[in-house]
Amino acid sequence: MADSQTSRIPRHVAIIMDGNGRWAKKRLLPRSAGHNAGMNRMIGLSERAKQLGIHYLTVYALSTENLARPKDELDGLYSLIKKYFLKNVDKLIKGGAALRVIGDLSLLPEDVRTVIEDGVARSPEEAEFTFVIALAYGSRREIVGACGAAAAKGLAITEETLSANLYTGGIPDPDLIIRTGGELRLSNFLLWQAAYAELYFSDVLFPDFSDECLDDAVAEFSRRTRRFGKV
């Protein structure tokens, strides 16, 4: 990207990674092949985001609604997590990144949950770049849970206490939310946190969402004027 396009880099980018299944279908491959390609692209994008100077990258990997998908597809996803999660975590940490996983992990099988928890335990608590993976995540569930957590602590429900008790507590709200795959909706992703995020929609299916596609999204962000409701 030209210097004029990189003058304003978003601190936090979130991506709805849509299109893995359609990518596989176009190639007459099983959906599992699309998820495998998507996982590889997810790790590649995290490396590019770090290079661009983005401090937080959050990816929507598995929603609570996705858990209703056919068992064979979910089993394939879980196998990918168990096979590649720890290896990719180690790669991220060696590159100077931190990892955080958000969502209701109690909804996942115990062996998958154990792998994820082990990976998070290896991660430093703070780093220049934090990679956030949303697994078994649903924003409505998150908001309800945050209200309950604040109330259990005897706190009044305010914007501040609710934000602090979300899965993303301590992480700045996203500046830019990208959705790949051509759909034009947030699909229960970071609804509270997205209040003033810039939205960017791409027709590119996620496995084909290249580093250059991310560059283009960041360049578009840099050209926008963010007023946060002000003049």
Contact 96, 76 (CB under 8 A): no
Given the residues 36, 40, 66, 165, the one annotated as active site: 66
Residue 231: how many other CB atoms lie within 10 Å: 3
Scanning the chain, the segments in alpha helix (DSSP H) are 20-26, 31-52, 71-94, 110-122, 139-152, 159-164, 211-223
**Residue 200 corresponds to which amino acid?**
Y
Which residue has tokens 């304003």? Answer: 8
Cα within 13 Å of Cα(86), Cβ side: 12
165 annotated active-site: no
Among residues 128, 112, 164, 124, the alpha carbon closest in space to that of 143 is found at 164
Contacts of 3 (CB under 8 A, 6+ apart): none
Q: Is 66 a catalytic residue?
A: yes
3: three-class secondary structure by DSSP: helix
DSSP 61: E
Phi then psi for residue 17, to 5 deg, are -85, 85
Q: Which of 163, 187, 166, 190 is nearest to 176 (CA)?
A: 190
Q: Which of 198, 187, 194, 185 is nearest to 227 (CA)?
A: 198
Q: Which residues are catalytic?
A: 18, 66
